[in-house]
A and B are shown apart, each in its own frame.
Chain A
Amino acid sequence: MREIVVIGGGASGLAVALETKKRGRDVLLIEREEDLGGILNQCIHNGFGLEVFEEEYTGPEYANKYIEEFLKLDIDYHLNTTVLKIEKTNNYFEITMSSKARGIEKIKAKAVVISTGSYERSRGSIIMPGERPYGVITAGSAQRYLNIDGYMVGKRVFILGSGDIGLIMARRMFLEGAKVLGVAEIMPYSNGLTRNIVQCLDDFDIPLYLSHTVTDVKSGESNRLESIVIQKVDENFNPIENTAKVFEVDTLLLSIGLIPDIALLDNLEVVVDSLTKSAKINQAYETSVRGLFICGNSLQVHDLVDNVTLESIRAGKCVSDYLEKKLEKNNESIDIIPGKNVGYVTPQVLDFSWSPKELIISFRGKKKMEKTKIKVFQNNELVFEKFKQFIVPAEMETIKLDYSKLNKFDELGISLEEL
């Protein structure tokens, strides 16, 4: 029997494994790829690590810092191994995993941490009219093909969605010799960091079409993408007539959002939050299933890997506490609810059986706001407030609360108010 099994060896899983190992726990990490590091391995651009190291690294460099430490601490791991199923019996979890080298195996664990990251929304999750040719792929897949495997997915490229991956790929494809004809964003503002608009689009004169979306996809010979049509949209996102622009492209990259990957929770009775599309957690990163923890992008999609690391270190601390039996179940808990202008909040539950006194709440604003007060209420009473110059949906906000001040009965509400 293992004390802790961590599923996923990216930024989140590495941090959890390191933190728990340093606290003297027995931990096994399972990674399905042939290398540790997760998505960082294909994010070859720079901009990682400013928060944690106060220095700027590329994705692989950032990953390597943790991989080196991981190997030095002699932590157990499996590579090329996919977890198929997690089941819970009374006192432990049973994990079924599969690998080419060893076939199907089962192991037992007292605690499980899900750090499986997120997956990309694909064409199927938005209503995109037109034909279904080759050449319409997600930006992250194109990034992997180019940066890891070393081949270009196309020569004339258009990008739908202005998330950071889309912007980064616009520059990347351009640098490798592709013609990048533009980026369309359905919202009136970009979803990516401003710095990426500047250094990925403006630097190379790649146009950004705000309030535009793809309204037709046409295939040419041998069913390869031949052209797309974009149109301006109104405030209800309906295409406006006579605004159509045609682009002859062989590739359409989709950068239309990430969704936490929680497929492994299917066999467990986990309560899911429709807002985060992941498990609901308490302040110890524990799901509604005792001993099952979740963090990183599989909990909530982060903008910066630094925040994934910091969150996962906190989660690792909590898992260690759990195994040291520092908590006693007492059923006292309250809900944490997103209020006015707040898109989602984690944790969703404050469980008073857990000890650390500090409560860290992450959330996202629903819209762009200026001169904003973050307010936390309990039973109509203001328990916390903080001024914030700008709130944008593209950036996750984090606040710290001292929860010894809170009562144990009334739900906690978080709202944003413009001054």
Chain B
Amino acid sequence: MGKKTFTCIVCPRGCRVTIDDNMNVTGNKCLRGEKYARTEMTNPTRILTTTVKTTFKNMPRVSVKTEEPIPKELIMQAMEEINKVTIKEQKKIGDIVIENILDTGINVILTKPLIRNEVKNEEVHLSN
């Protein structure tokens, strides 16, 4: 089979990494690249970022992500699960929205605080 070269997507740097039959990785500038190349060959995963419906007038949608990368082939299924959810109460950034999505052991968490307008920071904030 020989070597396979692809672009590492762990960070915006975008290293060109090469992996051979013995799973030796070259071209990566950090250890995450090595891990990425191996996972990409065996079980490609991605962090899924999307939004969830809320009942809040001031924030009809709030952004979420999977805490860890999930298997690539589960992405569309995960979207379906996430789109079933409607959040009704205030939540902090990092709070869990779906626990253990699709039995991956990975949680879907908020990436933005969800606060009702009335208690949000006042429009004008002057300390003196």
- Docked-complex contact B65 and A46, CB < 8 angstroms: yes
- Docked-complex contact B113 and A79, CB < 8 angstroms: no
How large, as a class, is the contact surface on chain A?
35 or more
Task: Report if A101-B11 is in contact (Cβ < 8 Å); known contacts: A46-B65, A60-B111.
Answer: no
- Docked-complex contact B61 and A150, CB < 8 angstroms: yes
A residues in contact with B93, CB < 8 Å: 60-61, 64
B7 within 8 A of A: yes
**Pick from B46, B61, B124, B127: contact of A78, CB under 8 Å:** B124
A271 within 8 A of B: no
Bound CA–CA A75/B9 (angstroms):
37
Residue of A nearest to B64 (CB): A44
B residues in contact with A44, CB < 8 Å: 49-51, 63, 65, 111
Q: B1-37 interface mask toward A, CB cutoff 8 Å, 1 = contact, 0 = none? A: 0000011111111100000000000000000000000
Q: A182-216 interface mask toward B, CB cutoff 8 Å, 1 = contact, 0 = none? A: 00000000000111011100010000000000000
Q: B91-127 interface mask toward A, CB cutoff 8 Å, 1 = contact, 0 = none? A: 0010000000000000000011100000001011111
A residues in contact with B14, CB < 8 Å: 193-195
- Docked-complex contact A56 and B11, CB < 8 angstroms: yes
Task: Report if A58-B65 is in contact (Cβ < 8 Å); known contacts: A71-B121, A150-B53, A193-B12.
Answer: yes
Task: Report if A101-B49 is in contact (Cβ < 8 Å); known contacts: A175-B75, A199-B9, A304-B12.
Answer: no
Main secondary structure on B side of the interface with A = loop
B74 within 8 A of A: no
Main secondary structure on A side of the interface with B = mixed
Q: A272-283 interface mask toward B, CB cutoff 8 Å, 1 = contact, 0 = none? A: 000000000000
Q: B61-74 interface mask toward A, CB cutoff 8 Å, 1 = contact, 0 = none? A: 10101000000100
B residues in contact with A148, CB < 8 Å: 61
- Docked-complex contact B60 and A46, CB < 8 angstroms: no
B79 within 8 A of A: yes
A76 within 8 A of B: yes
> How distant is B47 from chain A, measured CB to nearest CB, in Å?
5
A47 within 8 A of B: yes
Task: Report if A175-B123 is in contact (Cβ < 8 Å); known contacts: A46-B65, A149-B61, A194-B14.
Answer: no
- Docked-complex contact A45 and B9, CB < 8 angstroms: no
B residues in contact with A235, CB < 8 Å: none
Bound CA–CA A150/B54 (angstroms):
10
B residues in contact with A56, CB < 8 Å: 10-11, 47
> How distant is B70 from chain A, measured CB to nearest CB, in Å?
13
Q: A40-59 interface mask toward B, CB cutoff 8 Å, 1 = contact, 0 = none? A: 01001111001000001111
B39 within 8 A of A: no
A80 within 8 A of B: yes
Q: A356-387 interface mask toward B, CB cutoff 8 Å, 1 = contact, 0 = none? A: 00000000000000000000000000000000
9 A-B residue pairings within 8 Å (CB atoms): A44-B111, A61-B93, A64-B112, A76-B127, A78-B125, A99-B123, A102-B124, A150-B53, A175-B50
| Chain B residues proximal to chain A, CB less than 8 Å | 6-14, 46-51, 53, 58, 60-61, 63, 65, 72, 75-76, 79, 93, 111-113, 121, 123-127
